[in-house]
Amino acid sequence: MKKLYFLFVVIVLISCSKDKETNTLENITVPSVSTPNDVSFGVETPMVSIKGGKYVPLYGKKNKAVEVSDLLMDVYPVSNENFLAFVKQNKRWRKSEVKKLFADDNYLNNWKKDTILATDMKPKSPVTNVSWYAANAYCECQGKRLATVDEWEFVAMANQEMADARKIKAYNQYILDWYEKPKTFNNEIGKTFKNYYGVYDLHGLVWEWTSDFNSILLTGESRSDVTTDKNLFCGSGSLNASDLMNYAAFIRYAFRGSVKANYAVKNLGFRCVKDTLNTKKP
Amino acid sequence: MKKIFILIFASVAFIGCKQNDEYKKVDATQIKVDGTINAELTSPPFVPKPVGDRPAKKLIVNLEIIEKEGEMADGVKYVYWTFGGSVPGSFIRTRIGDEVEFHLKNHPDNKLPHNIDLHAVTGPGGGAKSSFVAPGHEVTFSFKVLNQGLFVYHCATAPVGMHIANGMYGLILVEPEGGLPPVDKEYYIMQGDFYTKGANGEKGLQPFDMTKAIKEEPDYVVFNGKTGSLTGDNALTAKVGETIRLFVGNGGPNLVSSFHVIGEIFDNVHVEGGTLINHDVQTTLVPSGGAAIVDFKVEAPGTLIIVDHSIFRTFNKGSLGMINVTGDDNKTVYSGPQSDEVYHPEGGTIQTMPNEASAKAPKAVTLVERIADGKSIYSRTCFACHQPTGEGLPNTFPPLAKSDFLNADVNRAIEFVLKGKTGEVVVNGKKYNSVMTAQTLTDDEVANVLTYVYSTWGNSKKEVTPAMVKAIRSKK
């Protein structure tokens, strides 16, 4: 009988790890989903220049700084009206046309029709219910790309005044408070704070896709993540002065770990970035 | 030879006895399931129908995660994260050997990924590893319930403490074959501690306060997710002679509960929700992330008060519930007050103390003195229920501040202080149904404390004299 138990446990373990593997394979950021079929759609959005630098991420090798190169980042997340222009030009990303492989059933599911927003949706609200594939294609059409997790986290460390506000209590509390504010996806872009670099809405509006969102795998069983993955040094069990900062960031990583590239989620949008001409590869 | 024989015989007998006493573990993995049913889920304080003698089945559970705003106390809003839209989450009732097919759905409007760890599950993370679900998605996993008892379930997504502190917990019951012994009424109560940015009672939408949670200093300790969930119109009900079973859980995240029902003794307690049954228990400990099943027969009418006997939580943080028992008096079980006479420790006759005049406390004469005296009486006698600034406790103890009820009739106020009050009153448009005991104060003291209450908190400034008190006292 005991053996049966064991077998059960083994099966569960195997199925879990299998899942993880497929996740990883599925979500490796190989260009490109976009094809020459996707054409420019005449939307230009303001970008700001971000001076690169080093930072120590929440997850990574202990105390090892990650280098982020200079880049340009969209000031705002992509809005409903921008994405509408994109799907008008690119039929294959309309909700009736999109391949299930690239977007699940929630893709643009609040839209009235393929190229018509629902009446209660504001053109200036961030576009959500978009899959990673669609977001990727959108950015490529503009000659841009999605930010990496490191790039996104690097810019998002900033509050209004400083580049790295992660130890400021008010900054962390702002993020934590947002987690409890329902339906912020209905708000318009550019209404939260303008950060140190001139970027809006990284916190307080919607989640955002990153190119390698699933490179850090949280199993969702947060209590064992500490030991299952060697990269996850900063355990949920550790309690110290930077607790609030960890909690705010944990939820972001947990969210990224819960999605797959074809998921379309109501609180998840995106913005694009671009390498600068003088981008040096580290 | 003979000796050995006897020894063997004795030990065999001993073992035999012992085995009879011991709890027999059922090998539930061998129980076959027969048919499929959808699980009935209920919001607190109600529980689904007992399993009775049904065979083990495949049981389909559909549980939806909803993040939504609710009311922690009067005027205090809080964003709860819930299993099934209530705190605690939906009650799940199974029997041993059931194969549960669990569908966990994360509502598309939700912001966060969630999962579920059911303590009734034998397997990694209690299901948490298999149930991590993004907003707008549904995950399915299955398990067989192998151990009987009452178990907690909760969310285990990072940061776990925050998910639990926002209300993500509930109970799953695994009944033995044939079910628990039948009773007349069953209810579902779960305690939880809450941490808000503002202090207890501060109005408006209160965000979760992580710092207070880490320090384990809650602003609210409540039953079923909010103050007043089991008082007033929400009070549980029973009739004299009925047997009541309470499924009691504690979601935490931090505090351990000293669960007690004032005016009752638990006939049976499934200690920690397991198979061990203790009898005749006054207070049972319910650990955070644990549960207990208690039952008792109600013998006399009246209001039973459900509390966490870590008692400041009850009177200052909200862990208070009520069971209204109706029916005929049973004077043998409880007489009610029979007489109230003066008690003289020195003997039957009144004795005069030497130097009585000088020993007496200076008597308050002027209005200012009387108000000061009243304030000190108030802070000894009244504030525990009516609160230091007279605002009372929502749904439990009526306010004295700006109280229409108080200002309407001074003689009624005097009468309540002297004789107590049981039953419904409507104060400032809200119903209260509670008990105020008769206060053993002198005429002077009653006059002074009422004058103090009338003089503050926006009340009518009415002055109450000892003569007025005396008049009411002598009225029969």
Identify all chain B residues contacting A5, using CB atoms and an 8 Å cutoff. 29, 122
Q: Is the pLDDT of residue A241 over 50?
A: no
**Nearest CB to A221 within list B111, B128, B214:** B128
List the structure tokens of B149.
Answer: 């008892």
Q: Tens digits of per-residue pLDDT, A100-121?
A: 999 999 999 989 999 999 999 9
Give the per-residue pLDDT at B351.
47
**Which residues of chain A lie closer than 8 angstroms to B166, CB-CB?**
180
- Contact assignment for B108 to A106 by CB distance below 8 Å: yes
Rounded Cα distance, B463 and B364, in Å? 14
The reply to whether residue A247 touches residue B159, judged by beta carbons under 8 angstroms, is yes
The amino acid occupying position A14 is: I
Quick check: B218 and B194 in contact, CB under 8 A?
yes
Q: Residue B361: its pLDDT value, please?
A: 53
Select the residue of A181, A218, A267 nearest B135 (Cβ to Cβ). Answer: A267
Q: At what angle do helices B410-419 and B443-455 cross, to 10 degrees?
A: 130
CA B285 to chain centre: 13
Closest in A9, A180, A222 to B156, CB measured: A222
CATH class of B30-178: mainly beta
**pLDDT over 60 (residue A12):** no
Separation in Å, CA B274 to CA B85, B151, B174, B247, B286 = 27, 9, 10, 12, 12
> Which residues from A are below 8 Å from B159, CB to CB?
222, 236, 246-247, 250-251
Q: With contacts defined as CB-CB under 8 Å, which chain A residues touch B140?
A: none
Strand partners, A85: none
Cα of A77 to nearest chain B Cα, Å: 17
More confident residue, A28 or B37: B37
Q: Are B314 and B193 in contact (CB under 8 A)?
A: no
The pLDDT score that the predictor gives to residue A235 is: 36
Token pair listed for B456: 């503050």
Does B124 contact A9 at a Cβ distance shorter than 8 Å?
A: yes
Is residue A72 within a helix (H) or strand (E), and if so which, with residue range?
A: strand A71-74
B135 vs A contacts (CB less than 8 Å):
265-268
Q: Do A182 and B109 touch (CB under 8 A)?
A: yes
Q: Which residues are B432's β-sheet partners?
A: B425
Q: Do A180 and B207 touch (CB under 8 A)?
A: yes
Query: What angle in degrees, to the nearest 10, is found between the helix axes of A149-156 and A243-258?
Result: 150
Give the Cα-Cα-Cα angle A268, A271, A272 (nearest 5 degrees): 145
Its CATH class, for the domain covering B367-474, is: mainly alpha
| Nearest chain A CA: its distance from B53 CA (Å) | 26
Find where tokens 């009520």 sit: B322
Identify the pLDDT of residue A60: 56
Contact of A136 with A146, CB cutoff 8 Å:
yes
Question: What is the least distance, in Å, from the CA of A92 to any CA of chain B?
Answer: 23
Q: How far from B211 is each of B228, B255, B264, B425, CA to CA, in Å?
A: 26, 16, 38, 39
Write down the domain spans for chain B: 30-178, 186-326, 367-474
Cβ-defined contact of A259 to B27 (cutoff 8 Å): no
pLDDT in tens, A55-86: 887 765 556 788 999 999 999 999 999 999 99
Q: Which of A207, A220, A247 sits opposite B210 (nearest CB)?
A: A247
* Nearest-angstrom CA–CA distance, A149 and B246: 49
Binding-site annotation: residue ranges of B for Cu cation:
114, 119, 154-155, 163, 168, 309
Residues in Cβ contact with A118 at an 8 Å cutoff, skipping those fewer than 6 apart: A110, A111, A112
Alpha-carbon distance B177 to B180, whole Å?
8
Under 8 Å CB-to-CB from A206, ≥6 apart: which residues? A77, A126, A128, A184, A185, A267, A268, A269
Would you call B68 and A182 a contact, using CB atoms and an 8 Å cutoff?
yes
Q: Minimal Cα distance from A9: which residue of B?
A: B123
How far apart CA B191 and CA B167 sit, in angstroms, is: 10
Q: How far apart are CA A82 and CA A139, in angstroms?
A: 11
Beta-carbon pairs below 8 A across chains A and B = 125
Confidence of residue A24 (pLDDT cuts 50, 70, 90): very low
Instruction: Indicate if the pLDDT at residue A219 is higher than 60.
Output: no
Token pair listed for A107: 């893709």
Contact A239 B110 (CB under 8 A): no
Nearest C-alpha in A relative to B111: A267
- Choose the mutation target among A130, A258, A260, A262 for the interface with B, i.e. most B CBs under 10 Å: A258
| Rounded Cα gap, residues B322 and B324, in angstroms | 6
Residue with the bigger pLDDT between B381 and A10: it is B381
**Rounded CA gap, B402 and B461, in Å?**
11
Judged by CB atoms closer than 8 Å, whether chains meet at B162 and A263 is answered as: no
Domain limits, chain A: 47-214+232-275
Query: Is A258 within 8 Å of B128 when comparing Cβ atoms?
Result: no
**What are the backbone dihedrals phi and psi of residue B419, each rounded to the nearest 5 degrees, phi first?**
-115, -5
Structure tokens at B457: 């908190």
What is residue B9's predicted lDDT score, i.e. its pLDDT? Answer: 52
Of the partner residues B113, B166, B211, the one whose CB lies closest to the CB of residue A254: B113
pLDDT in tens, chain B (476 residues): 555 555 555 454 444 444 444 567 788 899 999 999 999 999 999 999 999 999 999 999 999 999 999 999 888 999 999 999 999 999 999 999 999 999 999 999 999 999 999 999 988 888 887 888 999 999 999 999 999 999 999 998 878 889 999 999 999 999 999 999 999 999 999 999 999 999 988 888 999 988 899 899 999 999 999 998 998 889 999 999 999 999 999 999 999 999 999 999 999 999 999 999 999 999 999 999 999 999 999 998 999 999 999 999 988 899 999 999 999 888 888 887 777 776 766 544 444 454 444 444 557 788 888 898 888 888 777 877 888 888 888 878 899 999 999 999 999 999 888 888 888 889 998 888 877 877 778 888 899 999 999 999 989 888 899 999 999 888 76
3-class DSSP string for chain B = CHHHHHHHHHHHHHHHHHHHHCCCCCCHHHCCCCCEEECCCECCCCCCCCCCCCCCCEEEEEEEEEEEEEEEECCEEEEEEEECCECCCCEEEEECCCEEEEEEEECCCCCCCECCEECCCCCHHHHHHHCCECCCEEEEEEEECCCCEEEEEECCCCCHHHHHHCCCEEEEEEECCCCCCCCCEEEEEEEEEECECCCCCCCEECCECHHHHHHCCCCEEEECCCCCCCCHHHCEEEECCCEEEEEEEEEECCCCEEEEEECCCEEEEEHHHCCCEEEEECEEEECCCEEEEEEEECCCCEEEEEEECCCHHHHHHCCEEEEEEECCCCCCCCCCCCCCCCCCCCCCCCCCCCCHHHHCCCCCCCHHHHHHHHHHHHHHHCHHHHCCCCCCECCCECCCCCCHHHHHCHHHHHHHHHHCEEEEEEECCEEEEEEECCCCCCHHHHHHHHHHHHHCCCCCCCCCCHHHHHHHHHCC
For residue A156, give Cα distances in angstroms to A166, A198, A234, A250.
Answer: 9, 11, 19, 14
List chain B residues with CB under 8 Å of A222: 156-160
* Alpha carbon distance B416, B110 (integer Å): 50
The chain A residue lying nearest B211, using CA atoms, is: A244
User: What one-character DSSP code corresponds to residue A90?
Assistant: -
How close, in Å, is residue B233 to chain A by CA atoms? 30
What residues pair up with B366 in beta bridges, in sequence order?
none
- CATH architecture entry for A47-214+232-275: Alpha-Beta Complex (3.90)
Q: Which of B113, B129, B159 sits opposite A255 (nearest CB)?
A: B113
B134/A265 CB distance under 8 A: yes
Which CATH number applies to B186-326: 2.60.40.420, 1.10.340.30, 1.20.1740.10, 3.40.190.10? 2.60.40.420
Nearest CA in chain A to B146: A5
* Residues in B lying within 8 Å of A, measured between beta carbons: 27, 29, 67-69, 79, 108-113, 115, 117, 122-125, 128-137, 156-160, 162, 166, 207-208, 210-211, 214
Q: Which one of B108, B111, B132 has the shortest CB-CB distance to A219? A: B132
Q: Do A223 and B111 touch (CB under 8 A)?
A: no
Whether pLDDT at A94 is above 60? yes
Interchain contact, A219 vs B211, CB within 8 Å: no
How far separated are the first and last CA of chain B, in Å rounded? 87
Q: Report CB contact under 8 Å: A12, B108.
A: no
Which value, in Å, is the radius of gyration of the alpha carbons in chain B? 28
| DSSP annotation string for A105-148 | TTTTTTSSBTTB--TT--TTSBP-S--HHHHHHHHHHTT-EEPP
Closest C-alpha among B197, B194, B196 to residue B253: B194
**pTM of the predicted model as reported, rounded to 2 decimal places:** 0.71
Q: Scanning every residue of chain A, which has its alpha carbon at the shortest distance from the alpha carbon of B79?
A: A180
- pLDDT for A236: 40
Which among B128, B88, B82 has a CA at the least distance from the CA of B109?
B82
**Interface predicted TM-score (ipTM) of this complex, two decimals:** 0.72
B84, B90, B92, B93 alpha-carbon torsion, rounded to 10°: -140
Q: Which residues pair with B150 in a beta bridge?
A: B173
> What's the half-sphere exposure (Cβ side, CA atoms, 13 Å) at B456?
19
- Integer Cα distance of B62 and B70 in angstroms: 22
Alpha-carbon B452 to chain mean position: 33
Mutate to test the interface with A, among B25, B29, B30, B111 (most CBs of A within 10 A): B111
Is residue A246 pLDDT above 80, yes or no? no
Domains B186-326 and B367-474 alike in fold = no
% of chain A exceeding 90 in pLDDT: 51
Contact by Cβ (8 Å): B232, B329: no
**Residue B86 C-alpha, separation from nearest chain A C-alpha, in angstroms:** 16
Q: Is the pLDDT of residue A35 over 80?
A: no
d(CA B122, CA B140): 16
- Which chain A residues touch B133 with a CB distance below 8 Å? 258
Which of B109, B112, B208 lies at the smallest CB-CB distance from A183?
B109
Query: What's the whole-number mean pLDDT along residues A267-275?
Result: 95
Radius of gyration of chain A measured on its C-alpha atoms = 20
Instruction: Name the strands in the sheet holding B277-281, side by side, starting at the edge strand that comes first in the sequence.
Output: B220-223, B185-194, B243-252, B290-297, B266-270, B277-281
The per-residue pLDDT for B131 is 87
Chain B residue at shortest CA distance from A224: B125
Provide the pLDDT for residue A122.
94
Predicted pLDDT at A282: 46
Whole-number average pLDDT of chain A: 79
Chain A interface, mutation test: which of B99, B140, B157, B212, most A Cβ atoms within 10 Å? B157
CA distance B41 to chain A (A): 25
User: Can you tell me whether residue A26 is helix, strand or coil?
Assistant: helix
Nearest neighbour of A224 by CB, restricted to B123, B125, B214: B125
